[in-house]
A and B are shown apart, each in its own frame.
Chain A
């Protein structure tokens, strides 16, 4: 059934949005990342104007994140202390992001910045994740399961204002998670993502958090970053399409519930290998779009 989107000002097939929402909810439930960074480009491919896509995806991300956190909480997989520190940075970051978003829209460079940000970050994270999970898989295949240190110590752990995060078994500077929160917040608002695909690897590789806590904790902070982005986008730009977001989130809460049921059954490294392959493919597609000559060098913007 076709439904007219009041803010995007166009009709779209509701089953298509529902299906896309469900599929991405599934990925999100399984891996804890992948809601926004795939959803926003898909919405743009479906013809939703980028500002509306970005803002509405931020809105829909709230629902599967809430739902996901509740299930992870039950299994005690959330470090609320770490999550709170991260989200403080995230709220500052997403506020900066919305302002930046506004500015880029005004000078007509929003599409370009969104796409090139995707290319840079997806390539980086995708390659990192891919090689890491491949190494793990190969190591287990050989039968040499070596359990190393809990995490690597580097210069980042020498920063001041150290705090103990009991749940994560970490004693690190508070500045590091706050900084990660700010950066992820900016990108979240700018790219229409929860920031999971950046924050999850950052938690694993930079903070050294235990993998089991990473998904729940990242979902916890995504709730607040996405909520902040939604409210700011709505009040600053009037770009949140509640109809689009609601259909998407109905699909995604189902997907995320099904997905999160299997996190403890499916092997993490295999999941990450699959996801990183998708990430690399998406970034390649975006890169090709940026470097190939457009079919029409000119485009029009019709002011409403």
Chain B
């Protein structure tokens, strides 16, 4: 208790006395914090903007991470002349959405080692293979995961997409594709000076289904048999109705 009290005290004092803290704050906001997947959803483009206390040559990296969970990689092999899925590897703790944006090439901002430590970059993510699975050529599988996630637009690297203005303003567009998964998205804004982290801020975006499409989804999950019966009855009705209409035509 006493220990924590001391730390708190030191922290408080440093806030009050340090001029640099106030100066190095980064403030950011999003044009949209709640993304609603309604019947007309085709993906979303969100403007991230803010101010930072910068100097010439400062850099900003924005990392958006979606919900994490199970992603399975499958491999096809030729058996009796046809290509069949024969092997699979389960990756747990995998972000189902990830975008890394920056104002210039990340390799120019941070060296490889810092990237690895800060988990910046697609190959530096701490994704684990489900325990108990023995995998040969693990590197190939991991590359396949990255390649396929990039292809589906769920993962992306957007270097040069953060624009900086007079060393004090920044903005960037975050794009969520139409196949995006619902859930909580973390938006981490990192401000670097000479490869050193000066300040950071975390915002969040909530992606959820809304309107009729959300209701249909919920009903299909909770009352699945009734939903099925309703779907059939609707089809019977349309079939029968069309017959009545066409008979008169």
A residues engaging B (CB < 8 A)? 1-7, 9-11, 59-68, 70-71, 108-109, 111-112, 116, 223, 227, 230-236, 238, 240, 242-243, 245-246, 249-250, 253-254, 257, 290-294, 296-304
Q: How far is the CB of A292 from chain B (nearest CB, A)?
A: 8
Q: List 21 A-B contacts (CB under 8 A).
A: A1-B40, A2-B40, A61-B235, A63-B236, A63-B242, A109-B84, A227-B235, A230-B232, A231-B232, A233-B228, A235-B228, A236-B224, A242-B230, A242-B234, A243-B213, A246-B238, A254-B242, A297-B83, A298-B145, A300-B72, A300-B145
Which residue of A71, A238, A294, A300 contacts B83 across the interface (Cβ within 8 Å)? A294
Contact A234 B227, beta carbon cutoff 8 Å: yes
Interface size of B by CB at 8 A reads 61
- Residue B168 lies at the interface, judged by CB distance under 8 Å to chain A: no
What sequence of 0s and 1s flags, for each residue 212-249 of chain B, a beta carbon within 8 Å of any chain A beta carbon? 11101100110011011111101110111011001000
- Of residues 128 through 187 on chain B, the ones whose CB sits less than 8 Å from some CB of chain A are 141, 144-145, 147-149, 151-152, 154, 178-179, 181
Residue among B82, B154, B242 with max Cβ neighbours from chain A (10 Å):
B242
Query: Known: A300-B71, A301-B72. Is A66-B240 also a contact (CB below 8 A)?
Result: yes
**B14 partner residues in chain A, CB cutoff 8 A:** none
**A297 partner residues in chain B, CB cutoff 8 A:** 75-77, 83, 144
Contact A230 B228, beta carbon cutoff 8 Å: yes
Interface contact tally, CB-CB below 8 A: 186
- Residue B37 lies at the interface, judged by CB distance under 8 Å to chain A: yes
Query: Known: A294-B76, A298-B148. Is A231-B239 also a contact (CB below 8 A)?
Result: no
- Chain A interface mostly helix, strand, loop or mixed? helix
Contact A62 B239, beta carbon cutoff 8 Å: yes
Query: Known: A66-B239, A300-B73, A303-B70. Is A234-B83 also a contact (CB below 8 A)?
Result: no
**B149 partner residues in chain A, CB cutoff 8 A:** 300
B residues engaging A (CB < 8 A)? 37-43, 69-78, 81-85, 88, 96, 141, 144-145, 147-149, 151-152, 154, 178-179, 181, 209, 212-214, 216-217, 220-221, 224-225, 227-232, 234-236, 238-240, 242-243, 246
CA gap between A254 and B243 in the complex, in Å:
9
Contact B83 A291, beta carbon cutoff 8 Å: yes
Query: Known: A4-B41, A235-B225, A294-B76. Is A240-B239 also a contact (CB below 8 A)?
Result: no
Q: How far is the CB of A223 from chain B (nearest CB, A)?
A: 8
Q: How far is the CB of A236 from chain B (nearest CB, A)?
A: 8
Q: A71-B243, A292-B83, A299-B148 are in contact. List 8 more A-B contacts (CB 8 A).
A: A4-B39, A11-B178, A63-B235, A63-B239, A108-B88, A112-B84, A253-B242, A298-B74
CA gap between A60 and B239 in the complex, in Å:
10
Query: Known: A7-B220, A108-B85. Is A296-B71 also a contact (CB below 8 A)?
Result: no
CA gap between A122 and B239 in the complex, in Å:
27
